[in-house]
Structure 1
């Protein structure tokens, strides 16, 4: 009988290699997933920080039309049909000028924030408080388990 010169891997060798690869993917995958979510959360913090910058810019652009003795609050609330924005002073009076300037800068009412992390997707409300004098703006959020991770303050 003539011996055939077989080249390549046997079925057993291929199964062993696939099993080893599956084990490695399982180990590496569990180690990498937390870093992926941290990266997504960092991106979400950057997006939320941008809203604070937008609010500050809108506030500065409207200062000639706003009462310098009042504190203004911009609130973006997530609803079933998207995000709504309102701006009020500390007496509860609406500030349409500030609201429109803020919405014009970031289009939050027509283009919802693209938050990707688990905690970022839980955000239901963004509140930004702007003060005259030494211009300050502080952003807080409602929804995530750790809302302080998303807080931003501009001084």
Structure 2
């Protein structure tokens, strides 16, 4: 006597549709949260890059000839997305480009290039400390 064999291997179409529907609902619910975290991570990366430029400027200004020339003209560093760092002081600009030879690439919406605008970073020195004060300018040297 032969026994019947049941071929119940695999999933039914209904089970697959239910799993896909659950995954779609999870994607719709979780996507905004994930995009928010990605945006925050990009902003933190860009702010870390600005702080690196601040510390690099401190290092560049520790060289006497750079400090003496830059201090008399005021210290402004221009940072344009996708370009090298520039400054209103040729000596400081040369030293900064030696220390940071790569172009500056921003990723966050706040610092990404906004139609050719440049971040002008002004360094003031109250009480012997330099303060980073970034602001958007239309072009090099224009506030």
Structure 2-normalised TM-score?
0.73
- How far 1:14 moved relative to its partner? 0.5
Structure 1 unaligned spans of 5+:
88-94, 144-155
Q: 1:147 — aligned with what?
A: none
Match of 2:111 in 1: 120
Structure 2, unpaired ranges of 5+: 138-143
- Counterpart-to-counterpart distance in 1, 2:98 and 2:66: 18
Post-superposition offset of 1:49: 0.8
RMSD: 2.9
How far apart are the structure 1 equivalents of 2:84 and 2:16? 53
Partner of 1:146 in structure 2? none
Displacement of 1:71 in angstroms is 5.7
1:139 aligns with 2:130: no
Determine if contact 2:84/2:103 at 8 Å carries over to the other structure.
yes
Distance of 2:25 and 2:136 partners within structure 1? 40
Separation of aligned partners in 2, 1:69 and 1:86: 12
Matched-pair contact (CA < 8 Å) for 1:127–1:140: yes
Task: Check the 8 A contact 1:72/1:131 in 2, yes or no.
Answer: no
Q: Who wins on radius of gyration, i.e. which is larger?
A: 2
Provide the residue aligned with 1:27 in structure 2.
Answer: 29
Higher relative contact order (CA 8 A, sep 6+): 1
1:100-126 Cα shifts (integer Å, max 9, x gaps)? 11221112xxx2212111212146223
One of 55, 76, 85 as aligned partner of 1:53: 55
What is the TM-score with the length of structure 1 in the denominator? Answer: 0.68
**1 CA distance for matches of 2:96 and 2:70?**
18
Give the secondary-structure state (helix, strand or coil) at the position aligned to 2:96: helix
Partner of 1:86: 87
Q: Aligned residue for 1:148?
A: none
